[in-house]
Amino acid sequence: ILNRKSGKLYGRVIGEERLVLIDEDSVHATHGDKSIGTFRKLVEEESNENKNKIKRFNKCIFIDLCCNTDGDISCDIINNSEKLECNVVVFEPQQFVDSYFLNWNKLTETKSENIVDTLSRLLSLVDLNEARTVLLQKLQCMVIFLFQIIGYLLDNRVARLGPLKFVASCSSLLDHQISRRQEYLNARGGDHRLSRTQLGLANVCLRQFLDTMLGMTVMYVFFHNNLSDQLAADIITWAYAVADYLYSLVTWLMGAPAGLKLNKQLTEFLGHFFLYHIHLWKGYLVILQPVLSSVLWSASLLGVLGLTSQLCFLRDVLSMMTLHIYCFYVYAARIYQFQVYALSAFWRLFRGKKWNMLRQRLDSVRYNVDQLFLGTLLFTILLFTLPTFALYYVVFTLLRLIVLTAHQAIHTIVQTIDIFPLFSVVMWCLNFRQMTGDVLFTCVTQKSSNLLPVFSLQIIQMPIRKLLSRSENPFRKAQEKKYLWSSLIGDLVWGRLIYPWVEVSHP
């Protein structure tokens, strides 16, 4: 506007915000639009008499914007023949329209929005980029093709039944495909006019494209080198080695491990119990060995769905091959938990206390001699057998934590690929205007000191950390609550089972 010739100004007056927005296309405005002021190019300074002529306009709002040859800007606003003080902000409207983040998730006015939010909303409503919307719709079709194979089959009433739903929740692959299906349904039902939806859909599509390319690369290497037989043989060899290691470990625990004096009869009973399960596990490996190669060859086709699907299947294989370690951990944890809770209950008995389940508090109670004698006898038995059970519990818990560490490493890789906003980061690295989002106000220096303040409003690129937080996937549910170290240590001490990869619903 400042580079054009003199003419009329067209725009909008937002009274609640005390804001006057002058349109960029003031010269091309239609004849039906009413002007809100004039713009003048001053070759030389006008006399005060000529400047005061604008007071004769009897309008609610009238603007007289002037720019001289030195670039100094002056502006007078007349409201019902009364001159108002104002500030002038010069900006480029296209920066507001191009940015995904300024008009992030709202198309209507809200009470908490500021001047920048108001400008972004008004300018974005004027120019809704139809070409961008059409492109995103095509990307959405690509997303449908890439990850709706398994997720679509699991989206039915039969798969939502209790037993099948539990099986799906225990499988990392099925759970991952269900989340992908839900992600697509949320994307399809979202408002594509919102910048948040548009950017989220672009990130999802580019992420799926990269995920599929990586998965097909792994699949090509797998088929080209014929790795299914070799990998199956390595897995079976590793499983037998783990079984032999567990056999020697249990045998060591049946003696005097680290010089500890345990209950001989009890440790032999527990040792033979676990050795029998190891024998059953070796029989399971004999049945699994002939078909494992075919299963791995078929599972490599999951590369079409992406590298994340292959990693989830690898996680399921790890769970399947360490099932005996999980069973040992559950057996030991349940017995240890029973002993800890029983000892705490008998300790309350000696103090004359009882736990009130209805009121969730300790109440005082009087016990007779027979109750105290029986409680003392049981407390003594549990206390002296606790070291034996605790030793088995500690050993198998450590083995279980090693397996869970491997689970968590694979899960972290999958989650990183799923939530990484690849489209946003690529556009940010290429310095595209769509990834701008921070606001920079600077004061424009004018030669004359008597003129009003003039500011320059620029939309600049945001830091990468802020970009990652703003580009979170809007189609996924909030991440599950993290397993805190305090909760993990408390569960281990009290013998409660830990399920970091399966969501447990509490009544």
Model confidence over 469-505: pLDDT tens digits?
Answer: 888 777 776 555 566 777 888 888 888 888 654 334 4
Closest CA to 475 of 102, 182, 133, 139: 182
pLDDT at residue number 237: 92
pLDDT at 155 over 70: no
Single-letter code of the amino acid located at 110: T
pLDDT at residue number 31: 40
Task: Please give the Cα distance from 264 to 231 (Å, whole number).
Answer: 42
Name, of 119-123, 151-155, 348-352, the range with top average pLDDT: 348-352
Mutual angle of helices 323-350 and 264-299, in 10-degree steps: 140
pLDDT at residue number 58: 42
User: pLDDT averaged over the chain?
Assistant: 78
Given the DSSP bridges, would you call strands 82-84 and 62-68 parallel, antiparallel or unpaired?
unpaired
Task: Please give the Cα distance from 485 to 489 (Å, whole number).
Answer: 6
- Give the other-Cβ count within 10 Å of 384's Cβ: 11
The percent of residues above 90 in pLDDT, for the chain, comes to 19
Average pLDDT on 158-183 reads 75
Model confidence over 293-303: pLDDT tens digits?
Answer: 888 888 888 88
Helix (H) or strand (E) holding 76: strand 73-79
- Give the other-Cβ count within 10 Å of 163's Cβ: 7
Closest CA to 136 of 206, 204, 212, 198: 198
Residue with tokens 């009003």: 452
The percent of residues above 70 in pLDDT, for the chain, comes to 76
pLDDT at 40 over 80: no
Give CA separation, 152 vs 144, 174, 200, 459, in Å.
10, 11, 21, 42
Given the DSSP bridges, would you call strands 454-461 and 88-91 parallel, antiparallel or unpaired?
parallel
Model confidence over 379-403: pLDDT tens digits?
Answer: 999 999 999 999 999 999 999 999 9
496 against 56, higher pLDDT: 496
- Contact between 395 and 249 under an 8 Å Cβ cutoff? The reply is yes
Model confidence over 438-454: pLDDT tens digits?
Answer: 888 888 887 776 777 88
Single-letter code of the amino acid located at 83: K
pLDDT at 273 over 90: yes
Closest CA to 387 of 398, 377, 399, 395: 395
- Give the other-Cβ count within 10 Å of 183's Cβ: 22
- The number of CA neighbours under 13 Å toward the Cβ of 286 is 6
| pTM summary value | 0.77
Given the DSSP bridges, would you call strands 73-79 and 82-84 parallel, antiparallel or unpaired?
antiparallel
Average pLDDT on 428-443 reads 85
Torsion, Cα of 408, 414, 416, 420 (10° steps):
-160
Closest CA to 447 of 49, 89, 74: 74
391 against 156, higher pLDDT: 391
pLDDT at residue number 6: 73
- Contact between 468 and 421 under an 8 Å Cβ cutoff? The reply is yes
- Contact between 340 and 251 under an 8 Å Cβ cutoff? The reply is no
pLDDT at residue number 303: 86
CA 94 to chain centre: 31
Tokens of residue 365, six digits: 């109670």
507 pLDDT band (50/70/90 cuts)?
very low
pLDDT at residue number 183: 79
- Contact between 320 and 299 under an 8 Å Cβ cutoff? The reply is no
Q: Coil, strand or helix: which one is 39?
A: strand
pLDDT at 410 over 90: yes
Residue with tokens 């004999």: 286
40 against 387, higher pLDDT: 387
Model confidence over 83-108: pLDDT tens digits?
Answer: 888 888 888 887 877 787 876 555 45
pLDDT at residue number 124: 62
pLDDT at 131 over 90: no
Closest CA to 91 of 448, 442, 461, 428: 442
